[in-house]
Amino acid sequence: MARILLIDDDELSRMVLKEHLIQVGHSVIEAEDGKSGLEIYYKEKIDLVITDIFMPYKDGLSIITELTSDFPEIKIFAISDGGKVVKSLEYLEHARDFGAIRVFRKSKDIDKLISTIPEVLRAN
């Protein structure tokens, strides 16, 4: 199964998604903000990055931009529920323009996210 880096500042969201990922056999490394997520990525062998968009220190779009610039073949999923201020989720679709290969709503698309992982990892 995959080794997944999960970057999200929301501890509850991270915990719920991590539990789902582990239940289907993936190993998960967690980061609570974008800065620490990048540090982990550069040190570890990672198959897939799942990153929230709105986070302190370094947001998800910055993470996606930096990693896709340094690693063009990287596989990144963007997740979000809109943050505390943003009510529209249109920005989530814009994450694709930055290099995310899939986008998901945290609270509504967990099953879809989980089922998409094998397909994405097979596509090399």
- pLDDT, one tens digit per residue, over 45-70 is 999 999 999 888 899 999 999 999 99
pTM score above 0.85: yes
In 3D, which of 55, 77, 76 has the Cα closest to residue 10? 55
Domain count, the chain: 1
Model pLDDT for residues 67-99, shown as the tens digit of each residue: 999 999 999 999 988 655 555 567 778 899 999
Tokens of 37: 């997520």
Residue-number span of the structural domain to which 32 is assigned: 3-122
CATH of the domain at 114: 3.40.50.2300
Could you tell me the two tokens for 66? Answer: 């930096």
CA–CA dist 66, 59 (Å, integer): 11
Torsion angle defined by CA atoms of residues 24, 30, 65 and 91, in that order, rounded to the nearest 10 degrees: 70
